[in-house]
Structure 1
Amino acid sequence: MNASETSHQADQLMHAILNLARFHRDHEKFYSSAPREQAVLLQRHARTLQALADRWSTAERSERSVLSPFEAAEDLNAPDAVQLDGVLFLEGEGRPPEITRLIRDLRTLAEDALSSGEWLAAAMEASWATAAALLPMDGFADVLGERHRIIANDWRAAGLTTLAGRLLERAAEILDGVDFTPAALRADLDGRRTSAMRLYSAAEMIGHAADLSSDAAGAEHDSERRWRTFRSRAEEIVQADR
């Protein structure tokens, strides 16, 4: 390889470094906040399920006759669940549509989390290999730790996001095993109250997923100053070579 080709390769490498430092830093700004917004939604769903489980753990089956099928089931409803996610059990209806929506939300968020985690893990595998090109470059000697910490943070976020997705998948599976019709729930009030137990378990998994999503955002946020430091050094090197 002649000097011209070597110089061209060096220019391409520096362009790639600056490109990553600019656009991936901006990309990570999104992922340092969006998972926390998602965590709030997940916490709300978890609290809804906990409120219902609390109610079904102690409620006595209603024996009253009702005039309208749209009357609320007094023994099954929890005020917090109504206020948080609009879950309202009616005497003449089956599973509340809000429960269907909640389970759908969990599956959608799980699919998104698993896809994002897989993509990010693969990207960091490639980034780790690419960062090896920086090792012999003296100008980056004191910021190699910063660049590799960025990669490590992203890798950690990928793992946390994937685990959150797994938990949400499993929580949805648990909820699919609950018969949310008033008749079935009332029969369970006379039995072992396993519906409440399943809701507690699903809520715990959803709450854990919310915590993991927030932790993933924190890992991304930790890279903000590191990206600025690394990009500044890359720009200094490019200016010095001109």
Structure 2
Amino acid sequence: MEAERDQLLLTVRNLARFHREHEKFYSESPFHDVIRLHRSSRALKALAERWSVVAPLERTSPSPFAGAPDLNDDRATETLGILFMESGDEPAEITRLKADLGALAEANRTTGQWLADAMATAWDVLEALLAYPGLADLLAERHRIVTNDWQCATTAQLVARNLDRAVAILGRIDFTAAALRADLAGDRIAPRYVFSAAEMIDHAADLAAQSAVLTHENERRWRIFHDRVEQIVAGPEP
């Protein structure tokens, strides 16, 4: 029985060490996604703003590589390289943007599911720590780490849902030059879809930022909990 208790403490110490370091990474990495998402949203909003007011033009150049003056917005071109040309095809950058958003959604979905499963297991395992008087005053702190991470798991899944839906909204738009010009000459539905997709992306970015904050909050809890476990392992258990 004593050997089992010692092994549990060693395992707890291991987790407190390595998962603390692991979470240092995840308290920062979501912000890289936030920047990417804000850039994508900003470019889409620039296009939507232009398409809400610009008058559609006839093809202005016989060259398929010429830019379409009515469809392009310098902000979108500068930010993501989006360039509508007289060839009429969907810009490669739009195609790549949808693929990137889909990939980020899948990454968040996978991470969120794994983390949710891991925290469900961790919550059950932590009950064994109630038997250690030396950890009595830190039980809430250790459980809060799991709670925060569980929230991060749910948040990651919500990020995935929002990005998936943004891609689905963008999928309703025909981004060829002819189709966009026809829409601009009619009810201008495309810019409304684009605004909605951009706002879904914005919310996904906000959620990702919240996740980073939750993970960062765990740093102090991990530190004091790890130090206490080290003390217990090094000396007689109180």
* TM-score tier (shorter): over 0.9
**TM-fit CA distance, 1:24:** 0.7
The aligned residue for residue 36 of structure 2 is 41
The aligned residue for residue 133 of structure 1 is 128
The aligned residue for residue 10 of structure 2 is 15
Where structure 2 has 5 or more consecutive residues not aligned to the other structure, the ranges are none
| Residues 1-150 of structure 1 aligned to structure 2 (within 5 Å) | 6-63=1-58, 65-150=60-145
The aligned residue for residue 206 of structure 2 is 211
**TM-fit CA distance, 1:136:** 2.1
Alpha-carbon distance between aligned partners in 1 of 2:109 and 2:61, rounded to the nearest angstrom: 46
Misfit runs of 4+, over 2 Å: none
| Cα deviations by residue, 1:196-232 (Å, 9 ceiling, x for unpaired) | 0000000000010001001001100000010000000
Alpha-carbon distance between aligned partners in 2 of 1:63 and 1:114, rounded to the nearest angstrom: 44
**TM-fit CA distance, 1:93:** 3.5
| Cα deviations by residue, 1:70-121 (Å, 9 ceiling, x for unpaired) | 1110000011100110000001240000000000000000000000001101
Alpha-carbon distance between aligned partners in 2 of 1:110 and 1:65, rounded to the nearest angstrom: 38
**TM-fit CA distance, 1:65:** 3.6
Alpha-carbon distance between aligned partners in 1 of 2:236 and 2:32, rounded to the nearest angstrom: 43
Q: TM-score scaled by structure 1?
A: 0.96
Alpha-carbon distance between aligned partners in 2 of 1:166 and 1:185, rounded to the nearest angstrom: 27
| Matched letter for residue 221 of structure 1 | H
- Identify which of 157, 160, 168 aligns with 1:162: 157
Q: How many residues of Structure 1 are paired with residues of Structure 2 in the alignment?
A: 237
Alpha-carbon distance between aligned partners in 1 of 2:182 and 2:104, rounded to the nearest angstrom: 32
Alpha-carbon distance between aligned partners in 2 of 1:231 and 1:66, rounded to the nearest angstrom: 68
The aligned residue for residue 3 of structure 1 is none
**TM-fit CA distance, 1:64:** 5.4
- Does residue 173 (structure 1) correspond to residue 173 (structure 2)? The answer is no
The alignment-based identity, stated in percent, is 49
SS state at 1:179 partner: coil
Alpha-carbon distance between aligned partners in 2 of 1:84 and 1:241, rounded to the nearest angstrom: 61
Alpha-carbon distance between aligned partners in 1 of 2:190 and 2:23, rounded to the nearest angstrom: 40
- What is the RMSD of the two structures over their aligned residues, measured on CA atoms? 1.0
Q: Is the 8 A contact 2:88 2:178 kept in 1?
A: no
